[in-house]
Structure 1
Amino acid sequence: MREALAGWLGPAEWQAVALSLQVSFWATLASLPLGIFVAYALARWSFPGKQLLNGLVHLPLILPPVVTGYLLLIVFGRRGSVGQFLEQWFGIVLSFRWTGAAVAAAVMAFPLMVRAIRLAIEAVDPKLEAAASTLGASRPFVFATVTLPLVLPGIVAGAILAFAKAMGEFGATITFVSNIPGETQTIPSAIYAFLQVPGGQEAAGRLVIVAIVIAMAALLLSEFVARRVAKLVAGS
Structure 2
Amino acid sequence: METWIGFTSAEWQAIGLSVKVALACTLVTVPLAIAAGYLLARRRFWGKSVVESLFHLPLVMPPVTTGFLLLLLLGSRSPLGEWLESVFGIRIAFSYAAAVIAAAVVSFPLAVRAVRTAMEMVDPGLEEASRLLGASRLKTFFRITIPLALPGILSGAILSFARSLGEFGATITFAGNIAGETQTLPLAIYALMQVPGKEEATLRLVLVSVVISLAAMLLSEWYLQKMKHDRG
Please indicate the TM-score interval, normalised by the length of the shorter structure.
over 0.9
Deviation per CA, 1:37-57: give whole Å up to 9, x if none.
000000000112211111111
The CA distance in 2 between the partners of 1:190 and 1:119, in whole Å, is 35
Identity of aligned residues (%): 53
Give the 3-state SS of the residue equivalent to 2:135 in structure 1.
coil
Among residues 77, 88, 94, which one is paired with 2:92 in the alignment? 94
CA distance in 2 between counterparts of 1:22 and 1:89 reads 28
Counterpart in the other structure of 1:227: 225
Asked if residue 80 in structure 1 is aligned to residue 44 in structure 2, the reply is no
How far 1:67 moved relative to its partner?
A: 0.3
Q: What is the rounded CA distance, in whole Å, between the counterparts of 1:201 and 1:134 in structure 2?
A: 64
Selected match of 1:195 from 181, 190, 193: 193
User: TM-score if structure 2 supplies the norm length?
Assistant: 0.94
Alpha carbons 1:94, 1:100 under 8 Å: kept: yes
List gaps (5 residues or longer) in structure 2: none
User: In 2, distance between residues paired with 1:75 and 1:34?
Assistant: 20
Matched letter for residue 73 of structure 2? V
Match of 1:207 in 2: 205
Of residues 19, 22, 35, the one that matches 1:21 is 19
- Alpha-carbon RMSD: 1.4
In 2, Cα distance between equivalents of 1:179 and 1:226: 36
Between the aligned partners of 1:109 and 1:143, the Cα distance in structure 2 is 24
Further displaced range: 122-131 or 220-229: 220-229
Would the aligned equivalents of 1:6 and 1:14 in 2 still touch at CA under 8 Å? no
Equivalent residue letter for 1:129: E
Tell me the TM-score normalised to structure 1 length.
0.93
Q: What is the letter of the counterpart of residue 136 of structure 2?
A: S
The CA distance in 2 between the partners of 1:25 and 1:140, in whole Å, is 27
Residue 185 of structure 1 aligns to a residue in which SS? Answer: coil
Q: Amino acid of the residue matched to residue 148 of structure 1?
A: I
The residue number in structure 2 matching 1:121 is 119
Distance of 2:228 and 2:26 partners within structure 1: 21
Q: Which amino acid aligns with 1:107?
A: V
Q: Tell me the distance in 1 between the aligned counterparts of 2:151 and 2:215.
A: 17
Structure 1 residue 185: Cα displacement: 0.5
Q: Does 1:140 align with 2:138?
A: yes
Q: Distance in 2 between matches of 1:39 and 1:115?
A: 7
Matched residue type, 1:91: G
1:146-157 equivalences under 5 Å are 146-157=144-155
Q: 1:6 to 1:103 in 2, by over 3 A?
A: farther
Preserved contact between residue 35 and residue 113 of structure 1 (Cα < 8 Å):
yes
Count of matched residue positions in the alignment of Structure 1 and Structure 2: 230
Aligned match of 1:171: 169
Unaligned runs of 5+ in 1: none
Structure 1 stretches of at least 4 aligned residues deviating more than 4 Å after TM superposition: none
